Amino acid sequence: MKNISIKKQFIFIIGLAFLVQLIILVTFLLFSQYQYYKDSTKLAYRQEIKTNKDKVRREVEQLHSIIGYEIKKNKQEVKRKTRRRVYEAYDIAWSIFNRYKNEKSLHEIKNMIITALRDIRFFNGRGYYFIDSLEGEVIMYPVRPSQEGESYLNLTDVEGKPVVQAFIDTVKNNYEGYVKYKTFIPENRSVSSKASYNKISFVKFFEPFNWIIGTGDYAYGNIKELKENVINIIDSKRYGENGYFFAYNYSGECLNLPPDRDKEQINMIDYTNSKGTPVIKKALEIAKNGGGFMTWYYKSLSDNKSIKKIGYIQGIDELGMFYGTGVYVDEISSSFKKLQEEYKNITFSNSLVILFTLLIAYGVIYLLTRNLAKRLGKDIDMVADAFDVSLKDDRLIPENITRMSELSSLIKSFNTTLGEKHLFNRIAKEKERQFTSLFEKSAEPMLIINKDGIVDCNLSAVEFLGYKLKREILKHPAFISPEKQPYGRNSFESYNEIIDEIYRKKGSKKFEWVHLKSDGMPVHTSTVLAFIEPQNFILCTWRDITKRVEAERALAYEKNKLSAMLQSIKDAVVIVDLDCNVVYTNNAFTKITGLSGDEALGKNFDNLLSFYELNSGKAEIFSTKNVLHSGKSYSNLNGLKIIDKQGVERIVSKVITPIRQDGERLTGVVVVLRDVTDNVIFQQKKSKFASLQSIAVFTGSMAHEFNNILTGILTNTYLAKQHCHNERAAEFITKIEQSVFQATKTTNNLLQYTQTGTLRKNTANIYEIVKDISDVVFSDSRITVNIDKSTELWDVDIDKVKISQVFNSIFLNAKQSVKDSAAGRVDVKISNVFMNKSNGYDLKEGKYLCVDITDNGTGVPRDIREKIFEPYFTTRKNNNGVGLFHARNIVVNHGGKMILSSEKNKGSTFSVFLPAFDDYFLSAGDMKPSDRDSSLRFMIVDDNVYDRESLKNVLEFLGYSVMSVAGYSEASKLIRAGECYEFIIAALCSDNGMNFEDFLYSEKPFLEGSTVIIAVEKPEEDYIQSVKNDEKIAALIHKPFKMGELERIIKTVKQ
């Protein structure tokens, strides 16, 4: 390879470097000049635009000041005139009052004042006087005299301000004053409040009659005249050569446009320019928002072309109009072109001067560099010869052979390096001797390894593996190791990878390895490999960790066993460290809280979950931090509310226990949460059910007492009706009787509500019940209800009231599910079905009536279909959750079944099966009446003297012989004494421990020829069930007694 002179290289490199710098500098300076030219012209253009924008804004603001002064002057004039007019009216009223106060009544004086002021008009017919009282009554209102005498106290303006109240407050506080409010101009009463205008009224207090006398006018007087004045001001304003102002109404009507007068008085709200911009709408929006600049395209006055224009818009809200002006952008550009040419010439001149100056500088630097290179070459040759002599003789170089400081420094460094080399050689020999001694005498096993295997080792390594000679282990480490390491890798491959990695990185590595002793027993080692330079080998040390590994395995086994146990329990277990951070959770924690282990680990437990007290709903103040601070356990077994990740509310018990190491040092806490939601809800339901039972007992007791009162009222009403010979009075008594019957139904319903045992059955047509209930439930709904029934339905033997409750609950459920939509639909199908023995519904064989009620509502999710029949279960607010529970119980008590089939978001079907009834009995109405037999004798047994005596009076009135007694004991004496009674009407009571059943069976042998009628308050009384089928029992009659029912029973028994 050809050698190159340092001198030539130096000159070439210096010259090239300066040339590159020169080119970069020239380029930068030329670019700077260009950028200066560009920025200057852009700045000048922007300044020109800003100047013109300031000009148009200034012109608009000057015009706005003129218009504002005109409006203000108008407003002040209106206030002055209204005040003067009210003073005139006030003087008239005082004059009349003083003139006639001693001659005429106050009423006459009032009328004289009203007459004097009523027809006065001013303000070009707009102005009139009004008079109000301090109570808000209209005394005089000339434009609406029909409203005089009415109260205007609640009268408000278009913005809701109480106007008359403002009049009253003003005169009460100051006797007189101005009141501002908003109203419509008469011709604008059909438009919105945006077309309203400010109005000013002046009111003054007239003390003699507590009157408010006043008048008012629009705040700016005649709005139309004011607008015309403002438009004339705008039209007359000019500036510059072609500057003019335009004006428009807020509705878009053009009011002033000097260059295009044809468009004036035309609505241009929908006008768009050549670019499609709705110019007027855009300007109107700016005006309503307080005014501002606007850019648009408009035809030029000189060549009629569409040119960009910049203007300023200002609104006059008081008059509902806006105005503005603008300048054409091309006019700004023409004045800017001359300035642009000047900047261009200056930039070109500066660029030529810079280029010429840099070329001269390059020539001067080149000559200086050439001279320096000659001197440098001479000294370099001298130093090179000195280096050759020093390397050959191994001696130092004199530092004064050159005058250049750089070369002197190079010689000095060379001499230093040469001395260090001699010192290093001596130190290296000493270190090698020390390492050999340490290696051989070390108590720890040490080995020297290269890529082929173990090349040397100390005696400790030989003894560690149980060998006798070094050569027995001088082989590849894999040969003194098991075939595979505990983690599954092949020992030979794994060790080669580790050795290659250390040689590649020239570093060290620590790892665990299993070797085999001479007897084949494995030994676990902590192995450290370190690369040694410059010898290029690896130093290896072993440390026996077999006992530690065995202990770790035992600990891991115990840990896995504990973890399996914790994961299997139902209680949530959380372990928290001293910083309150979660370090462990089991599976139950995820089930209870909805949080996975990954979401909880490392998080602060106190911030992870919120616990609330059951009764107060307040946040629990005790936390894991308190337990860590106090070192004492904490528990809350009554229950705390939490809300899991899915938003489900749960109730849990909570126990926090400290964890201590060696029984002393606190290392954390364990938190145990148990889901007690079902237990708490059960207890709540149990408590609620007990409360409802108490209410039911109280309701039944009150209904019983009320029934006793109704019995007396009904029987005495019947007697009064029989003795009454006045037809009008008889009608009133009949109405009283009807009201008592209605009250009787109410008390019977209450008694039935408080009892769920025996049913009060009657033969009924199920279609009529379903139809009546559906009409009531869906009367205020848009839901369509269709009822389909077989042509002839079997009758059913049912308790109508309770079965009505069943269908009422089902229809209400359907109504809530459909949500009152026009698309809502409820289909009812009633049909006769016969169930055989294998019907699949667990019903007895026989005839049944089936009612299928289907809606197209939201349906019932599968997981809660059975729960909806549980007491107090509900998914809706303001619902007690007992409707469907009672409904199914009622159906089951009738011997039927109630079934739900549903699909989410498609609807539900409730199927009700009720046993059919074959009616072969004659009703009381079908029997022929017979004349009363006065020979019949009655015994009445009742502990309620009022009921007993009332019934006795009625029966005696009917011509029967009657004996009344207070208890079973007295009745028994009379019967056993030989007294014979055809009818015994016995109420259910208790007499010295004797109940009705005891009385019946003890006196049965003496009741030959006697018939017993049981008087009951509610048909569900359980203790009559065992005797109601006895041959002596003719019928049951319900209190309060209905005479028609009693007579039908007597006639039926006689027949």
**What is the torsional sign of CA 1032, 1033, 1039, 1044?**
negative
**Does the pLDDT value for residue 573 go beyond 50?**
yes
Question: Of the CATH numbers 3.90.550.10, 3.30.450.20, 3.40.50.300, 3.20.20.70, which one belongs to the domain with range 442-550?
Answer: 3.30.450.20
Q: Before 1040, cis peptide (omega within 30)?
A: yes
Query: Cα–Cα distance between 859 and 857 in angstroms, integer?
Result: 6
* Residue 671, C-beta contacts closer than 8 angstroms, at least 6 positions apart: 572, 573, 574, 575, 576, 605, 624, 654, 655, 656
**Does the pLDDT value for residue 399 go beyond 60?**
yes
Highest mean pLDDT among 126-135, 854-863, 934-943, 1010-1019: 126-135
What is the tens place of the pLDDT at every residue in 658-676?
Answer: 988 877 788 899 999 998 8
Pick the closest to residue 311 from 236, 216, 247, 219 (CA basis). Answer: 247
**Does the pLDDT value for residue 139 go beyond 90?**
yes
**Does the pLDDT value for residue 897 go beyond 80?**
yes
Q: Which residue has the higher pLDDT, 190 or 987?
A: 987
When pLDDT is averaged across residues 685-691 and rounded to a whole number, the result is: 67
Name the β-bridge partners of 573: 672
Pick the closest to residue 769 from 809, 795, 812, 803 (CA basis). Answer: 803
Highest mean pLDDT among 12-26, 220-234, 1017-1031: 220-234
Q: Which residue has the higher pLDDT, 880 or 818?
A: 818
Parse the chain into domains and list their residue ranges. 78-221, 241-328, 396-433, 442-550, 567-675, 756-917, 923-1054
pLDDT at 878: 57
Rounded percentage of the chain residues whose pLDDT exceeds 90? 16
Query: Cα–Cα distance between 1040 and 715 in angstroms, integer?
Result: 8
pLDDT at 115: 92
pTM of the model: 0.33
Q: Read off the tokens for 906.
A: 């498609």
| Fold adopted by 78-221 | Beta-Lactamase (3.30.450)
Name the phi and psi angles at 577, rounded to 5. Answer: -85, -175
Contact call for residues 574 and 601 (beta carbons, < 8 A): no
Query: Cα–Cα distance between 390 and 392 in angstroms, integer?
Result: 5
Residue 29 class from Cβ within 10 Å (0-12 exposed, 13-18 middle, 19+ buried)? middle
Contact call for residues 914 and 891 (beta carbons, < 8 A): yes
CATH no. for 923-1054:
3.40.50.2300
Q: How many CA atoms lie within 13 A of 731 on its CB side?
A: 2
Q: Reduce the DSSP state of residue 171 to 3 states and report it.
A: helix
What is the tens place of the pLDDT at every residue in 261-292?
Answer: 888 888 888 888 877 888 888 888 898 888 89
Average pLDDT, the chain: 81
pLDDT at 697: 63
What is the tens place of the pLDDT at every residue in 762-798?
Answer: 778 888 888 888 888 888 888 888 998 766 888 888 8
- The two counts, helices (H) then strands (E), for the chain are 23, 33
The angle at the Cα of 537, spanning 536 to 543, to the nearest 5 degrees, equals 150
**Does the pLDDT value for residue 48 go beyond 80?**
no
Q: How far is residue 178 from each of residues 86, 129, 175, measured CA to CA in Å?
A: 11, 15, 11
Q: Are strands 612-613 and 634-643 parallel, antiparallel or unpaired?
A: antiparallel
Name the least confident of 315-319, 388-392, 631-635.
388-392
Pick the closest to residue 525 from 460, 453, 451 (CA basis). Answer: 460
Q: Read off the tokens for 544.
A: 């026996």
When pLDDT is averaged across residues 29-44 and rounded to a whole number, the result is: 71
Q: Reduce the DSSP state of residue 748 to 3 states and report it.
A: helix
Place 219 in a pLDDT band, splitting at 50, 70 and 90. Answer: confident
Q: Which residue has the higher pLDDT, 426 or 323?
A: 323
Q: Which residue has the higher pLDDT, 861 or 201?
A: 201
Domain 756-917 belongs in CATH node 3.40.50.1970: no
**What is the torsional sign of CA 828, 830, 831, 835?**
positive
Contact call for residues 818 and 825 (beta carbons, < 8 A): yes
* Residue 392, C-beta contacts closer than 8 angstroms, at least 6 positions apart: none
Q: Reduce the DSSP state of residue 992 to 3 states and report it.
A: coil
| Neighbouring C-beta atoms of residue 702, cutoff 10 Å | 13
Instruction: Identify the helix (H) or strand (E) that includes residue 129.
Output: none
Q: b vs e for 345-378, b when ≥16 Cβ sit within 10 Å of the residue's Cβ?
A: eebeebbeebeeeeeeeeeebeeebeeebeebee
pLDDT at 194: 46
When pLDDT is averaged across residues 166-193 and rounded to a whole number, the result is: 75
Let me know if the fold of 78-221 is the same as that of 567-675.
yes
Q: Which residue has the higher pLDDT, 745 or 117?
A: 117
The highest-level CATH class for domain 567-675 is alpha beta
Task: Please state the CATH superfamily assignment of the domain spanning residues 241-328 in this structure.
Answer: PAS domain (3.30.450.20)
Contact call for residues 868 and 886 (beta carbons, < 8 A): no
When pLDDT is averaged across residues 425-444 and rounded to a whole number, the result is: 78
Q: Read off the tokens for 608.
A: 């992870």
Q: How far is residue 891 from each of residues 17, 706, 802, 851, measured CA to CA in Å?
A: 108, 29, 9, 12
When pLDDT is averaged across residues 840-848 and rounded to a whole number, the result is: 82
pLDDT at 525: 93
Q: Are strands 937-941 and 983-987 parallel, antiparallel or unpaired?
A: parallel
Q: Read off the tokens for 80.
A: 């002055």
Place 923 in a pLDDT band, splitting at 50, 70 and 90. Answer: very low
| Neighbouring C-beta atoms of residue 60, cutoff 10 Å | 21
Pick the closest to residue 770 from 744, 751, 793 (CA basis). Answer: 793
pLDDT at 1023: 47
